[in-house]
């Protein structure tokens, strides 16, 4: 069953176990020079409390230089740098998406359910706040 197929939030002890397994999966692929680029509940499969990361069709080597493909991952799980730059992002996008999955597993609600890219940025801004000027300056370069 995919993580997204459940009807109600998961118990905290299950979320803790699943997130540990997800981060171990990400650590493994990242330490082998790959980033997934499409972490979302639909790509997290669970059976007998064993989590498996699925759908490696969007993976990319961490050793290739950006810019990468601009449109990747499902909008709700994309970090701001994917939305605000022309393909300048890193493996850290997988960590952002895992955090979004963490929230969703606990609440059964998406954290940033944007209806468009601009709405997505607005929802992120509402929760996280305004980035520091030095962060905005880096994004403007891209």
Higher pLDDT, 71 or 101: 101
pLDDT value of residue 136 = 74
Residues with catalytic roles: 38
CATH architecture, domain defined by 3-57+72-141: Orthogonal Bundle (1.10)
Query: 56-84, pLDDT tens digit by residue?
Result: 988 889 898 877 776 676 889 999 888 88
pTM over 0.85, yes/no: yes
What distance in Å separates the CA atoms of residue 103 and residue 59, rounded to the nearest whole number? Answer: 23
Query: Which of these, 90, 77, 87, lies nearest to 43 by C-alpha position?
Result: 77
């Amino acid at each position: 069953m995919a993580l997204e197929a459940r009807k109600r939030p998961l118990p905290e002890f299950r979320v803790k176990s699943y997130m540990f397994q997800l981060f171990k999966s990400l650590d493994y692929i990242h330490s082998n020079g790959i980033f997934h680029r499409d972490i979302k509940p639909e790509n997290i499969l669970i059976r007998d409390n064993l989590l498996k990361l699925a759908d490696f069709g969007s993976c990319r080597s961490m050793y290739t230089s950006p810019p990468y493909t601009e449109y990747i991952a499902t909008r709700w799980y994309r970090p701001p740098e994917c939305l605000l730059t022309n393909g300048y992002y890193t493996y850290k996008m997988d960590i952002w998406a895992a955090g979004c999955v963490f929230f969703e597993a606990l609440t059964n609600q998406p954290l940033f359910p944007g209806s468009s890219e601009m709405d997505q940025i607005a929802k992120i801004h509402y929760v996280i706040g305004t980035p520091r000027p030095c962060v905005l300056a880096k994004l403007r370069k891209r």
